[in-house]
């Protein structure tokens, strides 16, 4: 199933699965992590992040990560199955950053500020990509290849954002002409997938085509039109 169809297939109002959050609190033996365990797990993930500034995700190894973290090689497997497991955990943390863009419930609700708020949202979304492009590109690659774990993670991270967007887009319609909820959700899904794909394209092909600023302003104008009264 194509990415847009996967996202739109989720019922509006669906919430994210707690699986990724729960997995952060136990090691691979199923034991609850204490303070020291959480610190060690974080140290390994931070080491992987530092390595990603110089290497691609495909060049990472458990040995490189433990060396960078100044940990024993066996320590890695207490917390992660393999390097892909580390990248999955890092991707899960980034998903919460995107969801947090809607912490302010007033965002995209005031008609006087629709364009300014749209620019604020689009820029903030792209800033997340600026900080984590290597990991997000890897997540999308695995999801597009059919990796169910990464596909589920990408979908679960998108659902709260699309719920927030569809709620605001729905308010653009007068009550007597409001389309069914699924149709409004589809508008939010189409916009969100385009937003993410363009953010990815800017990092994959930085010298090609339009500038990032031009693309972000165009996305903000499109979102403004979706929000304006019909």
Is the pLDDT at 209 greater than 70, yes or no?
Answer: no
Residues 91 and 141: beta-carbon distance below 8 Å: no
pLDDT of residue 202: 75
Is the pLDDT at 159 greater than 50, yes or no?
Answer: yes
pLDDT of residue 16: 46
Is the pLDDT at 22 greater than 50, yes or no?
Answer: no
Is the pLDDT at 205 greater than 70, yes or no?
Answer: no
Three-state SS annotation for the chain: CCHHHHHHCCCCCCCCCCHHHHHCCECCCCCECCHHHHHHHHHHHHHHHHHHCCCCHHHCCHHHHHHHHCCCHHHHHHHCCCHHHHHHHHHHHHHHHHHHHHCCCCCCCCHHHHHHHHHHHHHHHHHHHHHHHHHHHHHHHHHHCCCHHHHHHHHHHHHHHHHHHHHHHHCCCCHHHCCCHHHHHHHHHHHHHHHHHHHHHHHHCCCCCCCHHHHHHHHHHHHHHHHCCC
pLDDT of residue 52: 95
Domain ranges of the chain: 21-81, 91-227
Percent of the chain with pLDDT over 90: 68
Is the pLDDT at 21 greater than 60, yes or no?
Answer: no
pLDDT of residue 33: 74
Find out if CATH 3.40.640.10 is the number for domain 21-81: no
Is the pLDDT at 15 greater than 70, yes or no?
Answer: no
pLDDT of residue 18: 41
The pLDDT of 24-39, averaged and rounded, is 76
Which of the two residues, 63 and 211, has the higher pLDDT score? 63
Which of the two residues, 172 and 1, has the higher pLDDT score? 172
**Mean pLDDT, all residues of the chain:** 87
**Tens-digit pLDDT profile for residues 180-198:** 999 999 999 999 999 998 8
């Amino acid at each position: 199933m194509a990415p847009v169809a996967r996202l739109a297939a989720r019922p509006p109002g669906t919430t994210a699965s707690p699986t990724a959050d729960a997995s952060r609190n136990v090691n691979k033996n199923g034991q609850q992590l204490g303070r020291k365990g959480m610190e060690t797990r974080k140290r390994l993930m931070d080491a992987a992040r530092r390595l990603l500034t110089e290497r691609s995700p495909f060049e990472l190894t458990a040995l490189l990560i433990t060396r960078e973290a100044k940990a024993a090689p066996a320590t890695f497997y207490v917390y992660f199955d393999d390097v892909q497991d580390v990248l999955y955990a890092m991707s899960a943390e980034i998903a919460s950053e995107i969801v947090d863009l809607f912490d302010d419930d007033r965002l995209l609700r005031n008609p006087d500020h629709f364009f300014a708020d749209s620019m604020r949202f689009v820029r903030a979304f792209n800033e997340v990509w600026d900080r984590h492009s290597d990991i997000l590109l890897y997540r999308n690659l695995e999801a597009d290849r059919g990796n169910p774990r990464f596909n589920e993670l990408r979908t679960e991270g998108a659902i709260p954002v699309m719920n927030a967007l569809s709620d605001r887009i729905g308010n653009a319609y007068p009550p007597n002409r409001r389309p069914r909820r699924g149709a409004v959700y589809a508008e939010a899904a189409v916009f969100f997938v385009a937003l993410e794909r363009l953010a990815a394209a800017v990092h994959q092909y930085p010298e090609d085509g339009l500038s990032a600023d031009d693309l972000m302003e165009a996305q903000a104008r499109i979102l403004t039109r979706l929000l304006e009264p019909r």
